Amino acid sequence: LLYERHGEPAAVVQLKDLEVPKLGDCDVHVKMLAAPINPADINMIQGTYPLLSALPAVGGNEGVGEVLEVGRRVRALAPGDWVIPADAGLGTWRTRGVFPEEMLLKVPRDIPVLCAATLSVNPCTAFRVLADFERLAPGDSVIQNAANSGVGQAVIQIARASGIRTINVVRDRPDLPKLVERLMALGADHVVTEEMLRKPEMKDIFKSIPRPRLALNCVGGKSTTEMLRHLQPKGTMVTYGGMAKQPVMVPVSAFIFRDVRLRGFWMTQWRKDHAQDQESVASMMDALCQLIRRGQLRAPACTEVPLQDYRAALEASMKPFVSSKQILLL
């Protein structure tokens, strides 16, 4: 799926037949199996993301493929292995591709294909924001907005597996009870709407669990300000997205009297910073694959779409209140 200019995805993305490039000594020929449509993919096509591929570009930053053939200098991969992108910008919305070996990470074949296809962005982001900003122990709590997003669902499950409680904020919507039920089934401790954050009943939640030391923000605007109220003194709020396209507003009193910390996180930057530190990448992937094998981390709710129906999938991925991720089957 190629785009030659930036613009609205359904208008600029086209399905094209291209020749598969020749296999170089350090290259890997991959047959793609499945690739999701993430918000960052849409923003890259629109030209509004901080990281843009050179045009013409193939869409997609995430997915899983099977190795068909390797160049003669390739050591770490063999035909039959499953691989995912080691970094953003790979262009995963294609049936086949030839990539340099260092652009790929091997993943075990014994995990479900949808888990592998959605592994490199959201679960990694969830893993890092839970691990890198506060030292959380079993019994501690975390509050997050956009709890039904891909990262939100992964946070719930990874936290649950570590004995950490989650307070999950979602926007009010027509099918709210159904969404609450789904998040509780994943292991959420509490699910509240943005409106509830302002209500005195929130105090009842903190009778049974401690106030959170960590807040995870993917929205911005009013949602963030309200969430911050419930953070413990000296707690940290990490912003990793801005779905409301509004700034983060923080009362001065939160800084002075509660000494809260505001941090940011971008998975792409983390990968750049750890490019030479393969051990931390491997231990994160290993931990996530173990959770998947034990049934403690599932793929987000997915809608599987054949590649030729890509336009409908792109449009569906941009609708509000969508809790299901569009996955292109390649």
CATH number at residue 263: 3.40.50.720
pLDDT score at 158: 98
Query: Domain boundary at 267, 290, 317, which?
Result: 267
Same-domain status, 133 and 213 = yes
Q: Is there a domain that residue 87 lies in?
A: yes
Instruction: Tell me the pTM.
Output: 0.92
Residue 137 belongs to domain spanning:
125-267
Mean per-residue pLDDT over the chain, rounded? 95
Same-domain status, 243 and 320 = no
Same-domain status, 129 and 108 = no
Identify residue 26 by its one-letter amino acid code: C
Same-domain status, 112 and 154 = no
Q: Is there a domain that residue 290 lies in?
A: no
Q: Is there a domain that residue 274 lies in?
A: no
Same-domain status, 252 and 169 = yes
10-67 per-position pLDDT tens digit: 999 999 999 999 999 999 999 999 999 998 999 999 999 998 999 999 999 999 999 9
Query: Domain boundary at 267, 286, 316, which?
Result: 267
Same-domain status, 101 and 131 = no
Same-domain status, 186 and 201 = yes
Same-domain status, 130 and 263 = yes
By annotation, the residues acting in catalysis are: 49
Q: Is there a domain that residue 91 lies in?
A: yes
Same-domain status, 18 and 141 = no
Same-domain status, 27 and 132 = no
Same-domain status, 110 and 131 = no
Q: How many domains does the chain have?
A: 2
228-262 per-position pLDDT tens digit: 999 999 999 999 998 888 999 999 999 999 999 99
Q: Sorting pLDDT into bands at 50, 70 and 90, what band is 90?
A: very high
CATH number at residue 97: 3.90.180.10
Same-domain status, 263 and 170 = yes
pLDDT score at 294: 96
